[in-house]
Structure 1
Amino acid sequence: MNVGFIGTGSMGSLLIEAFISSDALSPSEITISNRTIAKAEALADRYPGMNVAYSNAEAALNMDYIFLCIKPHEFKQVVQDIQSSVHSDSIVVSITSPVLLSHLERELNCKVAKIIPSITNMVRSGATLCMYGDSMTEQDKSDLEQLFSFISEPIRIEESYTRIVSDLSSCGPAFFAFLLQQFVDAAVEETGIPRDGALQVAINMLHGTGLLLTEGGMTLEQIQQRVAVPGGITAKALYMLRQETEGIFNHLIRTTHTKYKDDLVKVSNAFCGEEVNGQ
């Protein structure tokens, strides 16, 4: 298999390293390019056999998959760069949510997909969100999902739900890491407990809670019911949380959707000058 990665920033390098560490791909199967070529060269130095391309067109040439791991405003130029390198059987994969499949299908004479990864893929966990263009066959979809199954659980979604499912899957680790940080910092501030010890307890708690929800087969409601004895400390604290956080996640979702729609309009204007009321 020959796989090209255009963009070796945070998510591009995460995918590359996850695929290699899981034995999904060997370094020799990977060709990378980056706007700052020194970053690509530094990554290749860590994985002997990995190939560095000195143009986007070269990174896409003769590749089975071409991953576009770039920012929304870079897409128009990169797509133009690779137009002459792809052919009808090439599969271009965007990992950027505001870039629609229709944007890519208009510009590229090849098959296109959109895959939204998560930082949890670093530890071969979490989901990858899979969306496909019209020319992708069922075999194409299965093959791509087989690749991602080395590092995640591939889940097919409708493109219209890209943003909300990305909130849950890809943004969620940052949101809940923030909440856990606030919990630990408050414990330190209120009681003077050493932060390292408090953090270790909290991390173990979060890991165990995840196991209860997966291997333990418990629901979110059941965990709360089992821990919160009526009239007890947890029940009182949960009541306070419900009062204080009412509507906070609705506001969070509205915030991410507003940003997504803004980015979608900019990308659509760049590709074809059209205003979009957004998915």
Structure 2
Amino acid sequence: MKIAIIGAGNMGGAIAKGLAQGTIINNNDITVADPDIEKLKQLQNFASGITITTQNQNAVENADTIILAVKPWLVAQILGQLKIDSKRQVLISIAAGISLEQLAKIVSPEMTIFRLVPNTAISELASMTLIASLNASKEQEQQVVDIFNEMGLAMLIPESQIVATTALTSCGIAYVLKYIHAATEAGVEMGIYPKAAMKMIAQSVKGAAELILNNDTHPAIEIDKVTTPGGITIKGLNELDHAGFSSAIIRAMKASK
């Protein structure tokens, strides 16, 4: 499969690097287009074999799949300038807020289109990527899921859930980082150096996530394992509840919807 990525910014560049580190797409089959030649050269230095160009049309000419990694307000302009074979090529858009219906109106109502919502951890191959599709076969859906599973965890969902799940994933990662920041400050107050505290907490967050992802379990079950009667953990958890921690998380998620 030949892939063209339009846009070499933070997300487009991260996807290009992720593809290059994966096993499904060969580097020689990746082309990245962007007006910033320096960004393109950085990608080529990261993974030899990637083709770079400042001309979007050159990138998509022979591509099977086009990944559109540009700002939402540029989507219509850029797609309108491209000559796309809507029967042969597949379009993947990561532009926030642009629906499958809107994309189909710009290109073709018959084109196979995917709408993706990754998060910033894609740069570490640890993204939670949400995928919705239009006019796609089961095989095409599975192929896209497989590709983005190599950059973290990908999940196919109905487009109607995109807004709610974006709050959980793209916005949610910021809430996790907010916890890490706050916990680090607590560590500093208790006499731990900031960098050391931050590493301890980040690893603890990673460990908690691995417990959920790698086992058929539930947060409440794992919490019970570390809360002994009269122990220090239950005292801290009760303080969180008294301060409205759970309610604050739920309200934050709903506010991001």
The answer to whether TM tops 0.5 is yes
The runs of 5 or more residues in structure 2 that have no matched partner are: none
**What is the rounded CA distance, in whole Å, between the counterparts of 2:38 and 2:151 in structure 1?**
27
2:145 is equivalent to residue 142 of structure 1: no
Quote the offset at 1:67 in angstroms: 0.4
Question: Could you tell me how far apart the structure 1 residues matched to 2:44 and 2:104 are?
Answer: 31
CA contact (8 A) 2:3 2:29 kept: yes
1:249 shift after superposition: 2.2
C-alpha displacement of 1:120: 3.7
The residue matched to 1:66 in structure 2 has which SS?
strand
Amino acid across the alignment from 1:218: T
Q: SS where residue 49 of structure 1 aligns?
A: coil
Q: Which secondary structure does the structure 1 equivalent of 2:140 belong to?
A: helix
Whether the 8 Å CA contact 1:97–1:163 is kept in 2: the answer is no
Letter in 2 for 1:191: M
For the 8 Å contact 2:125–2:152, the answer to whether it is kept is yes
Helix, strand or coil: the match of 1:165? helix
Identity of aligned residues (%): 21
Deviates more, 1:100-109 or 1:215-224: 215-224
Residues 138-164 of structure 1: per-residue CA shift (max 9 Å, x gap): 222222223223333331111111122
Q: Write the distance in 1 (CA, Å) between the matches of 2:232 and 2:80.
A: 61
Compared CA separation, residues 90 and 219, structure 1 to 2 (3 A): same
Q: 1:39 corresponds to which residue?
A: 39
* Contact kept? 1:22, 1:124, Cα under 8 Å: no
C-alpha distance in structure 1 between counterparts of 2:45 and 2:200, whole Å: 38
Partner SS for 1:153? strand
Q: Within 2, Cα distance between the matches of 1:170 and 1:19? A: 20
Residue equivalent to 2:30: 30
Query: What residue is the counterpart of 2:198 in the other structure?
Result: 199
CA distance, structure 2, for counterparts of residue 243 and residue 177 of structure 1: 22
CA gap of 1:148–1:214, structure 2 versus 1, over 3 A, is closer
- What's the CA shift for 1:8? 1.0
Q: Work out whether residues 36 and 54 of structure 2, in 8 Å CA contact, stay in contact via their aligned partners in 1.
A: no
Displacement of 1:226: 2.3
Larger relative CO (CA 8 A, sep 6+): 1 or 2?
1
CA 200–17 in structure 1, closer or farther in 2 if over 3 Å, else same: same
Between the aligned partners of 2:250 and 2:217, the Cα distance in structure 1 is 25
After TM superposition, give the deviation of residue 253 of structure 1 in Å.
2.3
Indicate the larger mover: 153-162 or 139-148: 139-148
Q: Sort the Cα spacing of 1:47 and 1:175 in 2 relative to 1 into closer, same or farther, 3 A.
A: same
Change beyond 3 A, Cα 1:235–1:149: closer
Q: Residue 111 of structure 1 corresponds to which residue in structure 2? A: 112
Q: Is the 8 A contact 1:58 1:85 kept in 2?
A: no
Report the equivalent of 1:166: 166
| Cα 1:154–1:181 shift into 2, 3 Å | same
